[in-house]
């Protein structure tokens, strides 16, 4: 089993799960897909591993996830192990609280003695590195990840403003001066698919690099992760969720859904979740950041739903929809990540699509780009499926006919939603 093969597949799995870091769970699942025979007689372990990472999703991330140091070491080590030793490592990962022998066997006759990877006492909810083994990057390196994102110029400027504010606060503290108002909690406003989760993950690592948070991991949550269905359940769910985010960031998408205006069919516990969250934020204000996201008008109403919210969310970042040229760049990156060669004619066809398309709104932006890529692939496969002989080059190149055309409704003078192939 080659390290390069494992690495490429682990990165693909991390992308499918929108994970900014390739960790050990991604590596192990890559091994499963490369050599499924290892799990032929061990269905329980396979099920446990698949619970950690879902590998069947489409590639969501635009940028390439970083490969953690532990993941690199694990991939190098796996290439030297026999089946028994591999299983010792995997069980150590799946069940870290069970004592294991400190020795790891090597392949007979290999002469190699791999260094043992320290077992994790507890992995965070996003399966990042254990707190005592996290490799922190320099702040400038983390901000480079932000700069590589497509578009988002105002977002990048605002993030860097907040970084400078935190830096100045640290300098003031070192000189015995009081900190200026610069809380860690943030409000993200904008349409879906505008990069809020990707930016949240980067800001979480920024906080860690600055020493503001211990781990800097991101825990994503929605209404169902906080709100229970019976009395007393909500406070427990909220507390348990916050516990997994200690040392990092709790990111709540569509946070306004916690405080719905109209409750049909009885009592709703969303307001209880908000009240519990406010108290927990106060209790852990030096070891937890909370980011809430959603549409601008809905988030404004959400912040007014409880007197304690606005005072705890003093900073906000507004995410604009992408321009047609930015949508074209996102689409090309998605295609190139799957090793497609995109010529000038295809770029022009894609750009022409976005010039006419209504890609903004609840299902637009980055999500629209992924849907366009899917439709292009469908059109390509339909075209190639009619041929008896397919050259390798044809599998990596599109024709202009593969790019869906957005037709205009001339009577209504507006763009008709949906795709139509030539």
> What Rg value do the Cα atoms of the chain yield, rounded?
24
d(CA 408, CA 357): 9
Between these two residues, 52 and 149, which has the higher pLDDT value? 149
Per-residue pLDDT band for 393 (boundaries 50, 70, 90) equals: confident
* The two structure tokens encoding residue 61: 């991330």
* The two structure tokens encoding residue 39: 């799990």
Instruction: Kindly report the three-state secondary structure assignment for every residue of 143-184.
Output: HHHHHHCCCCHHHHHHHHHHHHHHHHHHHHHHCCCCCCCCCC
Per-residue pLDDT band for 186 (boundaries 50, 70, 90) equals: very high
When pLDDT is averaged across residues 257-276 and rounded to a whole number, the result is: 75
Between these two residues, 16 and 219, which has the higher pLDDT value? 219
d(CA 416, CA 358): 8
d(CA 140, CA 142): 5
Lowest mean pLDDT of 38-47, 66-75, 299-308, 364-373, name the range.
38-47
Within 13 Å, how many C-alpha atoms sit on residue 29's CB side? Answer: 24
Record the pTM.
0.63
The pLDDT of residue 249 is above 90 = yes
When pLDDT is averaged across residues 163-178 and rounded to a whole number, the result is: 84
Strand 315-319 and strand 249-252: the pairing is unpaired
The pLDDT of residue 280 is above 50 = yes
The pLDDT of residue 36 is above 90 = no
Instruction: Please give the pLDDT value at position 413.
Output: 47
d(CA 116, CA 103): 8
Which of 398, 353, 351, 343 shows the shortest CA–CA distance to 376?
398
Question: Which of 108-112, 224-228, 347-351 is modeled with the greatest confidence?
Answer: 347-351
Instruction: Please give the pLDDT value at position 202.
Output: 92
pLDDT digits (tens, 9 = 90+) for 225-239: 998 877 778 888 899
Lowest mean pLDDT of 64-78, 247-261, 266-280, name the range.
64-78
When pLDDT is averaged across residues 279-294 and rounded to a whole number, the result is: 91
Q: What is the DSSP string of 227-273?
A: --SSTTHHHHHHHHHHHHHTTSEEEETTGGGGS-S---SS---HHHH
User: What domains lie within the chain, and their CATH numbers?
Assistant: 3-132 (1.10.1780), 139-319 (3.40.50.300), 324-415 (1.10.8.60)
Mean residue pLDDT of the chain comes to 77
When pLDDT is averaged across residues 164-191 and rounded to a whole number, the result is: 83
């Amino acid at each position: 089993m080659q390290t390069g093969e494992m690495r490429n597949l682990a990165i693909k799995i991390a992308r499918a799960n929108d994970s900014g870091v390739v960790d050990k769970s991604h590596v192990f699942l890559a091994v499963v897909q490369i050599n499924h025979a290892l799990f032929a007689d061990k269905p329980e372990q396979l099920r446990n591993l698949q619970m950690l990472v879902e590998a069947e999703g489409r590639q969501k991330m635009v940028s390439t996830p970083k490969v953690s140091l532990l993941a690199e070491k694990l991939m190098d080590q796996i290439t030297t192990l026999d089946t028994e030793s591999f299983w010792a490592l995997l069980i150590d990962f799946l069940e870290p609280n069970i004592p294991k022998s400190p020795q790891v066997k090597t392949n007979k006759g290999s002469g190699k003695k791999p260094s043992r990877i320290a077992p994790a006492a507890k992995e965070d909810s996003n399966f990042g590195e254990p707190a005592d083994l996290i490799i922190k990057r320099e702040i400038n390196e983390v901000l480079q990840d932000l700069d590589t994102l497509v578009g988002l110029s105002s977002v990048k400027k605002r993030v860097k403003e907040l970084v400078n504010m935190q830096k100045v606060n640290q300098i003031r503290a070192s000189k015995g001066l009081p900190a200026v108002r610069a809380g860690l909690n943030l409000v993200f406003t904008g349409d879906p698919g505008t990069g809020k989760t990707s930016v949240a993950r980067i800001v979480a690592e920024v906080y860690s690099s600055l020493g503001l948070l211990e781990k800097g991991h991101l825990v994503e949550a929605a209404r169902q992760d906080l709100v229970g269905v019976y009395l007393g359940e909500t406070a427990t769910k909220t507390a348990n969720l916050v516990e997994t985010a200690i040392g990092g960031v709790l990111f709540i998408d569509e946070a306004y859904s916690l405080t719905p205006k109209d409750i049909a069919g009885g009592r709703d516990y969303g307001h209880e979740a908000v009240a519990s969250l406010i108290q927990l934020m106060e209790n852990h204000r030096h070891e937890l950041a909370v980011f809430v996201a959603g549409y601008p008008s809905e988030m404004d109403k959400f912040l007014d739903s409880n007197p304690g919210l606005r005072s705890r969310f003093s900073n906000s970042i507004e995410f604009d929809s992408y321009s047609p040229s930015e949508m074209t760049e996102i689409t090309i990156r998605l295609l190139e990540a799957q090793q497609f060669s995109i010529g000038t004619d295809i770029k022009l066809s894609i750009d022409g699509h976005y010039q006419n398309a209504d890609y903004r709104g609840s299902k637009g932006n980055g999500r629209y780009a992924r849907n366009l890529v899917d439709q292009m692939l469908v059109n390509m496969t339909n075209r190639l499926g009619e041929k008896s002989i397919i050259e390798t080059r044809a599998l990596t190149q599109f024709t202009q006919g593969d790019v869906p055309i957005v037709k205009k409704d001339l009577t209504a003078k507006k763009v008709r939603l949906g795709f139509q192939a030539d």
